[in-house]
Structure 1
């Protein structure tokens, strides 16, 4: 006989209540409506609705989201595309709740490989992705019409790239943390061009500015303005060589007019100001200027009558690049450009250090007493290494127009101080050897660092031309206070060694 349990009225009511709660509980949980496999797992096509909000509608494989599917989150974010093992994997489109949208590849739910991101503010990036950030090569278009094409690191413009401003000016060169950093070229639609080093987006360190009118400035920069030692050569004739501050002539300098007349002395606020020396027709006399006006009798009046330097407007998106418009002296005719640097300037000019060359930038800076024009940025500055059993051979090359400087260390054993033999240094002009290291006065090179890709250090060269018929004082020259930071040349061989 079966066992029958009789419920009292109270017990029966409690049982009914418990059954009701159990029956209603699925309403307070996630729900699934769709196909299942033989083990009752979600398999095929189905819709999963989350209690917290949002849903997934698409393909399932044995309990996991796999295949094509659409996931909607409670905050309004939507992803539609390929899935694998419950994660967005493959091609898809993700629309964010703020209106931004990404279309491209996903890996483990993150943007990866290749894709396009359109932000709500109108900016667009198309290119490579890694770790959910722009990484690699890509192009970003800004809301003001500017574009950047180049390398990205963790979402920032870093590496080599080209930025075209809305006004069609453009910068091409090295970048770091969304700003020009290192060696680059800034070209203006006006025809002006700056080529040199940048720091935090500004021309800083050593660089050249080529003005549309033919003027040319070569020298030091700081925060986008000519500051430090430099030289302006004017297209119409004449030049200024000396010191600048905030874009204006300031400090000791030499002003040469197109007629060959000269003022040597102090400058202030872009004008001759103070006691100095005037020269006309090779006749010198003491003279004094006050804000460009001569106040003492002399045979010549030389003053830097020029327009105030006008800063170039900074583009809106990358508000870090600036330059200056040249100042032009009153000139009447062309004449030879004076390249002899006065002894006072030579003493003051020995100020180069490795800090003047940004890291990861190949460059060579130095002072010299040649009449050859060696102040411009080198067209080529590289180093090479040839390995041997007991020691290596290192070759440093720096090309400046028709002039090429070569330093070779035949017994190289890593960072340290080396004395250079006469046969290991050559200065060639138009392919012909003009100078070698002096046998009387030593030449030295100090290698500060060498990671087998980049090398840096300092050098001082005493040079002599034993084939020159001129007096020894004119046959001897020097390249001093030199600093270098160079990347290894991996393209060319050693046929000329």
Structure 2
């Protein structure tokens, strides 16, 4: 038998096992359960052969998504449980975290705010689980970028400009000992060695809001010890 023209024959594409509703042309349509060729499973709504609607997708690596789909992509509101124990609950657009959402990291930290293309972008609050500290302000492509951000710690808070995750430009520290520290914040200009991180430095003016008496503790010394 001649095999002339056999290259034009389409081989059937294996889509895995499926049990559920179909439309008139045999496409998955309605509610069904599928085991994909890679071992993942999906139980939920289909529309014209695509995951569209609400469903539960279990990845073979242990991750699990529960939420809305459109054209086989996470789209709408949903929760994704990651294999490392972290979790994201919020908006999705074309398989990416977008809109408002809450991400709980495996160390207990949380970010509650806006997302764009899987990155923190817009206004949000990041809370550190171990210390209770939190940052309130704006983000751009996963980094803190804000003209009026606030970082709150146990006994003090910083209010001012942030750039590339660090205080940069005008700002102030407010301490619970009734003192404020005003100044310009920046980065040390020096050669980087072995990708060493740069430490922020300050040139500040100390403004004390309480009167001192000879019996009071030296507030300036206390302030320097807190930094």
User: TM-score range, shorter-chain basis?
Assistant: 0.7 to 0.9
Cα distance, 1:211 vs structure 2: 2.9
Q: CA deviation at 1:189?
A: 1.0
SS in 2 for 1:312: helix
Counterparts of 2:184 and 2:119 in 1: how far apart (Å)? 28
- Answer yes or no: is 1:185 the counterpart of 2:172: yes
Structure 1, unmatched stretches of 5+, are 1-25, 216-234, 237-305, 315-321, 323-497
Q: For residues 204 and 163 of structure 1, what CA distance do their matches in structure 2 show?
A: 16
Separation of aligned partners in 1, 2:219 and 2:142: 43
- Paired with 2:20 and 2:79, the residues of 1 have a C-alpha distance of 24
> Equivalences for 1:89-128 in 2 at 5 Å?
89-128=75-114
* Pair 1:36-2:22 in alignment: yes
Aligned length: 199
Structure 2 residue 137 is the aligned partner of structure 1 residue 150: yes
Question: Structure 1: how far apart are the matches of 2:219 and 2:90?
Answer: 54
- Is 1:48 the counterpart of 2:34? The answer is yes
Displacement of 1:204 after TM fit?
Answer: 2.7
* Aligned match of 1:209: 206
1:312 aligns with 2:224: yes
Normalised by the length of structure 2, the TM-score is: 0.80
Within the candidate set 133, 136, 140, 2:126 is matched to: 140
Cα deviation for residue 50 of structure 1 reads 1.8
The CA distance in 1 between the partners of 2:50 and 2:15, in whole Å, is 18
What is the alpha-carbon distance in structure 2 between the residues aligned to residue 308 and residue 60 of structure 1?
A: 67
Give the drift of 1:83.
0.6
Provide the C-alpha distance between the structure 2 equivalents of 1:132 and 1:115, rounded to a whole number of angstroms: 11
- 1:162 matched to which residue of 2? 150
Question: Highest CA radius of gyration, 1 or 2?
Answer: 1
Shift of 1:153: 1.4
Name the Cα RMSD after superposition: 2.6
Rounded Cα–Cα distance in structure 1 between residues aligned with 2:51 and 2:211:
67
Counterpart CA distance in 2 for 1:307 and 1:64 is 66
Q: Is the 8 Å Cα contact of residues 196 and 203 (structure 1) preserved in structure 2?
A: no
Q: Distance in 2 between matches of 1:307 and 1:122?
A: 35
Please give the secondary structure, in 1, of the residue aligned with 2:135.
Answer: strand
Distance 1:33 1:129 in 2: 36
Task: Tell me how far 1:51 sits from its aligned partner.
Answer: 3.0
Distance 2:44 2:104 in 1: 25
Counterparts of 1:186 and 1:38, CA distance in 2: 68
Q: 1:214: Cα distance to partner? A: 4.9
Deviations for 1:242-299, whole angstroms, at most 9, x for unmatched residues? xxxxxxxxxxxxxxxxxxxxxxxxxxxxxxxxxxxxxxxxxxxxxxxxxxxxxxxxxx
Cα distance change of structure 1 residues 45 and 176 upon mapping to structure 2, 3 Å threshold: same
CA deviation vs aligned residue, 1:423-479 (integer Å, no higher than 9, x gap): xxxxxxxxxxxxxxxxxxxxxxxxxxxxxxxxxxxxxxxxxxxxxxxxxxxxxxxxx
Cα distance in structure 2, aligned partners of 1:85 and 1:113:
19
Question: What is the distance in 2 between the residues matched to 1:29 and 1:181?
Answer: 53
Extract unaligned runs of 5+ from structure 2.
1-12, 188-198
Instruction: Report the Cα offset of residue 202 of structure 1.
Output: 4.0
Inter-partner Cα distance in structure 2 for 1:79 and 1:204: 45
Q: Residue by residue, what CA displacement relative to the aligned partner does 1:137-167 show, whole Å, maximum 9, x if unpaired?
A: 01111021001111111222221310100x2
Distance, in Å, in 2 between the alignment partners of 1:140 and 1:60 is 37
In 2, the alpha carbon distance for the partners of 1:307 and 1:171 equals 18
Q: Distance in 1 between matches of 2:68 and 2:77?
A: 6
C-alpha distance in structure 2 between counterparts of 1:85 and 1:308, whole Å: 62
